[in-house]
Amino acid sequence: MKKNRVSVGIAPDDLGVGDFVAVIQPKQQCKPKFVLGRDSDGDPMVMHMAKENSPVEGIPHKVLGISWPWIVFGVLVPGGDVDGPIIHDLRKIKCMKLDKNFVEAIQVFEKPESDKPSEPEMPF
């Protein structure tokens, strides 16, 4: 059985507007800190908080614009819409191009009726 090798990272010169990529190595972000008080020596007691809003690997990002070193992404949501913008520094992230079939599977995905916006009812 032949295994497909996955290329880790893509050169910024190979990215083009309209391409779909996944951010596979987001820039490292500092975790927020919460000072609980001071110990007997007067030093601060610090608790590190978990950061919930970091990018998730595998989510399709559509390249909307590039101006080195900055790149503007839109996030592909089920049904084919693009949400955003998200701006990254290309020097601090790695991207991987996504297969066309992967992107199309998300674009044609039907949202449940409860998630679709309903038309407002007229008051008369």
Q: Where are the domains of the chain?
A: 12-110
Contact 95, 21 (CB under 8 A): yes
Confirm whether pTM is higher than 0.75.
no
Select from 62, 55, 60 the least CA-distant residue to 92: 55
List, for residues 102-123, the tens digit of each pLDDT value.
Answer: 888 888 887 666 555 566 666 6
- Cα-based distances in Å from 19 to 14, 29, 75: 10, 26, 12
Average pLDDT along the chain: 75
Q: Mapping DSSP to helix (H, G, I), strand (E, B) and coil, where does residue 114 land?
A: helix
Residue 29 has pLDDT above 60, yes or no: no
* Most confident of the ranges 3-17, 88-102, 104-118: 88-102
